[in-house]
Structure 1
Amino acid sequence: MFHPTVYQGTLEENYETVLLQLKGLTYEESDLIANLSNASALLNQFLEDINWVGFYLNKGEELVLGPFQGLPACIRIPFHKGVCGYAATTKQTVVVKNVHEFPGHIACDGATNSEIVLPILKDGELIGVLDIDSPRLNRFNEIDQKYLEQFVQIIVETIPTN
């Protein structure tokens, strides 16, 4: 059973707690959708100043909406469009301080002003991306990136090897 946590430490200490919580939630569970569902719920209750958190899954030449928390979202994102598409094609984390300055940004929610997208890679293959949006400019920093990359790695470790 999950018990909501009041995060009262430093940002780093709080992220360490979230990583432990994710390990507990995904322990001995290999179902990707179940793990992504709990992961998005965990981040939604932890992260402040966000308006959307969720996953898009690789379906060939596009990303398709997966488990998320927030308002209804764009269902399909071609690899060549938006922040998610860019992260998918480059296979690198993308931090956008102001989405209105990102060429080709897809505005699923007009309230979004900043975004971080992290690729989910298993043995070099793109599984999908973790997408987090915020109504605040410059919401995401190097600490967020560092710990969210670790968060994604915990998810990757639950995916069975083919």
Structure 2
Amino acid sequence: MFDFSPDPGLDPAERHRQLCSAADALTDSESDAIANMANIAALMWEFLPELNWAGFYRVIDDELVLGPFVGRPACIRIPLGQGVCGAAAASGDTQLVEDVHAFPGHIACDAASRSELVVPIKRDGRVLAVIDLDSPSPARFTAEDARGIERLAELLSGRI
């Protein structure tokens, strides 16, 4: 059994370092992509405060399809280029959105979400999936969060 319980007083850089370390331990010897995404969604939920959704969308046939997550039911399919997740998948760039209501074309799967961080997972230059984090708090995510989740995405690129 794994017990990954982060100290609530950790600074953000150390919190992300420990998140990546736990993710590495959980996924190192597992080849099933869905199992790995499910465990990582749960880890993100445990490690990152003030979330109302944490999970994955997978790129399948030129659209995003819902993957493992923790949170309220979500949109199942998102066209590439639409919403925050679709923008990240289409551009291959991290999307750090302080106010989702100000994001053109935002897709409101959960009306309680106020800010969002979406990081693409790429292998050989191709986006395989995105990590999606939502928060009910405006401007919840920082550049440090983006860097930490980008490191997590890099780790997962060979494991999903």
TM-score range, shorter chain: over 0.9
Separation (CA, whole Å) in 2 of partners of 1:150 and 1:52? 19
Number of the residue aligned with 1:114? 115
Identity percentage of aligned residues: 45
Number of the residue aligned with 1:3? 3
One-letter amino acid of the structure 2 residue matched with residue 55 of structure 1: F
- Aligned-CA RMSD value: 1.0
Q: Deviations over 1:70-91 (max 9, x none)?
A: 0000000001310011001100
Separation (CA, whole Å) in 2 of partners of 1:80 and 1:147? 24
What SS does the corresponding residue of 2:57 show, helix, strand or coil?
strand
Assess if the C-alpha contact under 8 Å between 2:81 and 2:88 holds in 1. no
Q: Give 1:33 deviation, angstroms.
A: 0.5
Q: Give 1:16 deviation, angstroms.
A: 1.1
Q: Give 1:158 deviation, angstroms.
A: 2.0
Unaligned 5+ runs, structure 1? none
Q: Give 1:20 deviation, angstroms.
A: 0.8
Separation (CA, whole Å) in 2 of partners of 1:103 and 1:14? 31
Number of the residue aligned with 1:128? 129
Separation (CA, whole Å) in 1 of partners of 2:67 and 2:77? 10
Q: Give 1:137 deviation, angstroms.
A: 0.5
Q: Give 1:116 deviation, angstroms.
A: 0.5
Q: Give 1:14 deviation, angstroms.
A: 1.7
Q: Does 1:29 align with 2:27?
A: no
Q: Deviations over 1:52-98 (max 9, x none)?
A: 01100001221000000000000000013100110011000000000
Assess if the C-alpha contact under 8 Å between 2:121 and 2:130 holds in 1. yes
Number of the residue aligned with 1:19? 20
Separation (CA, whole Å) in 2 of partners of 1:106 and 1:65? 14
Separation (CA, whole Å) in 2 of partners of 1:4 and 1:27? 16
One-letter amino acid of the structure 2 residue matched with residue 5 of structure 1: S
Separation (CA, whole Å) in 2 of partners of 1:116 and 1:9? 20
The normalised TM-score by structure 1 is: 0.95
One-letter amino acid of the structure 2 residue matched with residue 38 of structure 1: N
The normalised TM-score by structure 2 is: 0.96
Q: Give 1:4 deviation, angstroms.
A: 3.4
Number of the residue aligned with 1:71? 72
Separation (CA, whole Å) in 1 of partners of 2:44 and 2:77? 22
Separation (CA, whole Å) in 1 of partners of 2:109 and 2:36? 24
Unaligned 5+ runs, structure 2? none
What SS does the corresponding residue of 1:158 show, helix, strand or coil?
coil
Q: Give 1:28 deviation, angstroms.
A: 1.3
Separation (CA, whole Å) in 2 of partners of 1:87 and 1:136? 21
